Amino acid sequence: MADEDVEASGGGKSKLIIILVLALVLLLGGGGAAFLFLSGGDDSVQTEDIVLPEEEATPVSMQAIYVILAQPFVFNVTGDSEQRLVQVNVQLMVRGLENEILAKENLPLVEHRLLTTFGGATVEQLRTGQGKIEVRKQALDAVQAALEKVTGKAVVERVLFTGFVMQ
């Protein structure tokens, strides 16, 4: 009877060793796979890495400052069979304190240009990610053109959508 207890505990130890070795192999294999997956290759495309050509050429020399537009833009868009109501929260990215001051001083002009641009969008445009990027680019061009006429420089580097709802 004492021999049976010794054999049972010896079998339990060997099973424990096998389980520990398998767990270690799985852990190392998972860690290696995670490393390869996260390090990625040049042929993998991630949506966060997509950069518009105009943004690539801009050298970053000053800290980015975000100008928050207090009120969301609410507007109607036409498309499919009915009109839809859209609400967009926007922030402006500028570089340097001088550009921040210029953007804040000219907020009514900026808001007007944004609302005009958003009002020209269609439901089909705003349904897709690429369409939203186009609308955001149009808004940036409109804001930069308006501010350049008033201040002599573009001031705003990016127009960012921080909230977007379409009903």
Q: What is the pLDDT of residues 28-62, one digit of tens each?
A: 777 666 665 565 444 433 334 444 445 444 455 78
What is the rounded average pLDDT for all residues in the chain? 79
Residues 6+ apart with CB under 8 A from 67: 91, 92, 93, 94, 100, 103, 104, 107
90-116 pLDDT, tens per residue?
999 999 999 999 999 999 999 999 999
Enter the DSSP assignment of 11: H
Calpha distance 114→103 (Å, rounded): 13
CATH number of 51-166: 3.30.479.30
The domain spans of the chain are 1-44, 51-166
Can you tell me which residue has the tokens 């680019």?
137
